[in-house]
Amino acid sequence: MKSELNFQDADAFYESLLDAHRGLSREQSELLNARLILLMANQLGDTALLQACIAAAKQAAAPTT
């Protein structure tokens, strides 16, 4: 799993992501995120890599005590 920045244009991606969410309700925004995650996961296609990404994201989101 790549942990260093690997974007060609991170700012453009982030702006596109914000634009996609603009005007959506919270429910619509969550649905968009879910669809986007599944589409990106399909592009990766590697189960072990996807599981590593899930674990890394979960660790980053875990509350610190």
The whole-model pTM stands at 0.77
Residue indicated by tokens 């660790």: 59
pLDDT bucket at 65, cuts 50 / 70 / 90: low
- Specify if 1 maps to a domain: no
- Specify if 17 maps to a domain: yes
pLDDT tens digit string along 14-53?
999 999 999 999 999 999 999 999 999 999 999 999 999 9
pLDDT value, residue 64: 75
pLDDT surpassing 90 at residue 1: no
State the residue range of the domain holding 52.
10-61
- Specify if 29 maps to a domain: yes
- Specify if 50 maps to a domain: yes
d(CA 63, CA 65): 6
pLDDT bucket at 7, cuts 50 / 70 / 90: confident
- Beta carbons within 8 Å of 3's beta carbon, 6+ residues apart: 56
Count up the domains in the chain and report the number. 1
